[in-house]
Amino acid sequence: MAALPASKGLGNVAGMFPQVCGDTKFTYLDSAATTLKPKIVADTIDKYYRQQCATVHRGMYPLALKATDKYQQTRRKVAAFIGARDSQEVVFTKGCTESINLVAQSFGTAFVKKNDEIIITESEHHSNIVPWQLLSQRTGCKLRVVPMNPKTGHLDYEYLRRNISPLTKLVAVQHKSNVTGVTHDIQKISEMAKKHGAKVLVDAAQSCATNDIDVQRMGVDFLALSGHKMFGPTGIGVLYGKRELLNSMPPYQGGGDMVDRVNFEKTTFAPIPQKFEAGTPLISSVIGLGAAVDFIESLGRKGIRAYVDELGNYARKKLTEISEVKLLPSESSVVSFTTARSPLDAATLLGETGFAVRAGHHCCQPLHQKLGISSSLRVSVAPYTTKADIDKFVAALKDVLKQLRNNAGDA
Can you give the pLDDT at residue 219? 98
| Catalytic residue list | 363
CA distance 63 to 109: 39
| Mean pLDDT, residues 229-243 taken together | 98
Cite the DSSP H helix spans in 196-300. 215-218, 243-248, 283-299
Chain segment 336-375, per-residue pLDDT in tens: 999 999 999 999 999 999 999 999 999 999 999 999 999 9
Percent of the chain having pLDDT more than 90?
Answer: 92
> DSSP assignment, residue 103?
I
C-alpha to C-alpha distance for 77 and 237, rounded to whole angstroms = 14
Over the stretch 280-320, which tens digit does the pLDDT of each residue have?
999 999 999 999 999 999 999 999 999 999 999 999 999 99
Q: How confident is the model at residue 174 (pLDDT cuts 50, 70, 90)?
A: very high
**Per-residue pLDDT tens over the stretch 92-148:** 999 999 999 999 999 999 999 999 999 999 999 999 999 999 999 999 999 999 999
Reply yes or no on whether the pLDDT at 238 is more than 80.
Answer: yes
Tens of pLDDT, residues 53-101: 999 988 899 999 999 999 999 999 999 999 999 999 999 999 999 999 9
Whole-model pTM? Answer: 0.95
Q: Please say whether the beta carbons of 198 and 161 come within 8 A.
A: no
Q: Is the pLDDT of residue 12 over 80?
A: no
Whether the pLDDT of residue 409 is over 80: the answer is no
Q: Give counts: helices (H), strands (E), the chain.
A: 14, 15
Cβ-count burial 5-32 (b if 16+ within 10 Å, e if not): ebeeebbebbebbeebeeeeeebbbbbb
- Indicate if the pLDDT at residue 24 is higher than 90: no
Q: For helices 387-408 and 343-352, give the axis angle rounded to 10 degrees.
A: 120
Q: What is the mean pLDDT of residues 210-231?
A: 97
Instruction: Determine the Cα–Cα distance for residues 92 and 382; give it in Å rounded to an integer.
Output: 25
Residues 195-220 have pLDDT tens digits of 999 999 999 999 999 999 999 999 99
For 243-247, what is the mean pLDDT?
A: 98
Is the model's pLDDT at 411 over the cut of 60? no
Residue 10 banded pLDDT, cuts 50, 70, 90: low
pLDDT of residue 7: 38
Q: What mean pLDDT do residues 31-44 have?
A: 97
Strand partners for 267: 262
- Residues 77 and 293: beta-carbon distance below 8 Å: yes
What is d(CA 41, CA 233) in angstroms, rounded to the nearest whole number? 8
Per-residue pLDDT, 51 = 94
What's the CA dihedral at 269, 275, 276, 282 to 10 degrees? -110
pLDDT at 150: 97
Per-residue model confidence (pLDDT) at position 15: 87
Tell me how many degrees the CA angle 179-347-224 measures, rounded to the nearest 5: 30
pLDDT of residue 5: 39
User: Which pLDDT belongs to residue 21?
Assistant: 80
